[in-house]
Amino acid sequence: MNEHFWGKWELGWILCDIWISLDILLCTASILSLCAISVDRYLAVTRPLTYSRRRRSKKLALTMIFFVWIAAGAITCPPMFGWYEPDHNQNGNCRYNQNPGYVVFSAMGSFFLPMAVMVYVYARISCVVARRHQQLASSTKCNKVR
């Protein structure tokens, strides 16, 4: 996947591991940031009064950013501590970790769990908005009748 210089990685296995780790870290942080934004929007729609007071808090924003990067790091780091396939740096190939356990762990944390959270959160937001729209429409009809 990340092969350079005519099909071989010529920069050594340490730079290969750094390259792959940064790729996973930055992609995961990006996806988890989208997930955090969806939760933030959910709170804004479902709890507008308490949300507006908390929204002004830089501490809350920094806390969310901190947890996004900690989670991204936790998903990225296991190969650095030995969770990789035995021949991961052979034959001049620089490729992602293909250890089945890590692939499942990484995919769950980087893609599937955030996707499930975002689908759920945006579905709930849609229900709340539709309910409020219905309430607004019915109250407008009542006011016209009077």
Sorted by where each begins, the domain ranges of the chain are: 13-145
| pLDDT score recorded for residue 3 | 46
| pLDDT score recorded for residue 2 | 47
Average pLDDT, the chain: 84
Concatenating the DSSP letter of every residue in 87-145 gives TTT-TT-------HHHHHHHHIIIIIHHHHHHHHHHHHHHHHHHHHHHHHHHHHHHHHH
| pLDDT score recorded for residue 35 | 95
- pLDDT for 77 beyond 80: yes
Instruction: Give the position of tokens 């016209």.
Output: 144
Burial of 95 (0-12, 13-18, 19+ CB in 10 A): middle
Instruction: Give the position of tokens 């942080």.
Output: 29
Say if CB 94 and CB 19 are below 8 A apart: yes
CATH code of domain 13-145:
1.20.1070.10
- pLDDT for 46 beyond 90: no
Choose between 111 and 40: higher pLDDT.
111
What confidence tier does 124 reach under pLDDT thresholds 50, 70, 90? Answer: very high
**pLDDT tens, position by position, 58-72:** 787 888 999 999 999
Mean pLDDT of 111-127: 96
| pLDDT score recorded for residue 71 | 96
| pLDDT score recorded for residue 111 | 95
What confidence tier does 89 reach under pLDDT thresholds 50, 70, 90? Answer: low
Of residues 111, 30, 21, the one with CA closest to residue 68: 30
